[in-house]
A and B are shown apart, each in its own frame.
Chain A
């Protein structure tokens, strides 16, 4: 019996990988999203979101073969520093001279973390506005666990010439020259065509370029939106 036990001890020390199975690790899963938008007053809004969690537990379970007939033994170990560890989000959200780096609330390691900041910058059309964004999550025990590289960009407001169009309230469609629109409504303005994406994002209706023929409100003429 003594001899078998000594042999087993030697095997376990020399060949741990073949016999031991650890069934727990810390698995970081995080997302980040940066979005730009603008309004009719030449304000640029830059929002950065970071979300996610780490899965796992503070307890490590190790299973080893511990008997001559393949019997297994399971041992558990609790990492005390893990129980008091925190995960902290940090966002860099710079737009021109506005914004900076901010730190969100620290949460326990396995909590769902959700943090976002928005930076607002008032720009002139055509002005070159440098932007830097980055989101990271730092563990108080092991350091950064989510740390994608910063994203430097340059933003400019597109200059456009806009006019109103008329809309047939009965059909909701635009009135073309010569069309008889009774009781027409004026198209709403669409600020996204005047602001802050590079190149301009013109996904919406309700404004048209002052050109002939009049385009439907639902169309956006990208060619007419020159930067600067």
Chain B
């Protein structure tokens, strides 16, 4: 029995030495992670379209019947696009749908991540990320159907230029 106990102690020591964190803290051990910081003002080309459109939609989208101050912000944000009144209204409706669906998606993910955490599991972030990307792509497609080709072109020009105002950090496990 004694050798087995010794082995167990050794394993615990190994764990402590390797994880390099205090025993009560989460494993925020960055020594085996690769972190990339993208500053869009320096490298806008490194901001992916799906991220740029998501951030733009999140910043501009409002719920149906927004308060007057929120509507004023949205109007100013959309004015930059120089859309016709018809395209502007269509865009607002599409973004309303985006906001409702996005908030639902986030809410569902957060509920599931809470359950996973309590169970000692990792939340299914890759599924959430795929669904968010799909929602962004769907919203772009819906806009394409509802507004003029000229408006879509202007939207893309704006989002591409707005990449210079975006920053992102991505951390992955190093191999």
Residues of A within 8 A of B (CB): 1-2, 5-6, 8-10, 12-13, 16-17, 19-20, 22, 24-35, 37-39, 43, 45, 47, 49, 51-53, 55-60, 62, 64, 66, 73, 75-83, 85, 107-112, 114, 116, 118, 120, 139, 141-142, 145-146, 148, 151, 188, 190-192, 195, 197, 201-206, 218, 220
A76 to B120, CA, bound (A): 10
Query: In the assembled complex, how far is the CB of residue B172 from the closest CB belonging to chain A, in whole angstroms?
Result: 6
Given the known inter-chain contacts A5-B7, A27-B171, A32-B166, please indicate yes or no for A206 contacting B72, CB distance below 8 A: no
A188 to B25, CA, bound (A): 59
Query: In the assembled complex, how far is the CB of residue A46 from the closest CB belonging to chain B, in whole angstroms?
Result: 10
Residues of B within 8 A of A (CB): 2-4, 6-7, 9-15, 17-19, 23-30, 32-33, 35, 37, 39, 41, 51, 54-56, 58-59, 69, 72-73, 75-77, 79-85, 106, 109-110, 113-114, 116-118, 120-123, 125, 128, 150, 154, 157-158, 161-162, 165-173
B117 & A30 in contact (Cβ 8 Å cutoff): no
Given the known inter-chain contacts A20-B15, A148-B39, please indicate yes or no for A112 contacting B58, CB distance below 8 A: no
A43 to B165, CA, bound (A): 20
Give the A-B contact count at a CB cut-off of 8 A.
249
A39 & B72 in contact (Cβ 8 Å cutoff): yes
B121 & A31 in contact (Cβ 8 Å cutoff): no
A59 to B39, CA, bound (A): 32
Given the known inter-chain contacts A26-B28, A53-B125, please indicate yes or no for A35 contacting B82, CB distance below 8 A: no
Chain B residues with Cβ under 8 A from A75's Cβ? 11-12, 15
Closest to B173 in A: A25
- Mostly, the A contact residues are mixed
Given the known inter-chain contacts A33-B55, A203-B81, please indicate yes or no for A13 contacting B37, CB distance below 8 A: no
Query: In the assembled complex, how far is the CB of residue B2 from the closest CB belonging to chain A, in whole angstroms?
Result: 8
A57 & B15 in contact (Cβ 8 Å cutoff): no
Chain A residues with Cβ under 8 A from B73's Cβ? 37, 45, 47, 118, 120
A45 & B76 in contact (Cβ 8 Å cutoff): yes
A114 & B13 in contact (Cβ 8 Å cutoff): no
B117 & A58 in contact (Cβ 8 Å cutoff): yes
B169 & A188 in contact (Cβ 8 Å cutoff): no
Chain B residues with Cβ under 8 A from A51's Cβ? 54-55, 58
Sample (30) of A-B pairs whose CB atoms are under 8 Å apart:
A1-B3, A5-B6, A5-B7, A12-B11, A16-B17, A16-B18, A22-B19, A22-B27, A31-B51, A31-B166, A31-B169, A32-B166, A35-B56, A35-B77, A37-B73, A37-B76, A52-B169, A60-B27, A73-B11, A79-B27, A110-B117, A112-B128, A116-B58, A118-B73, A148-B37, A148-B167, A188-B85, A192-B79, A203-B81, A204-B154
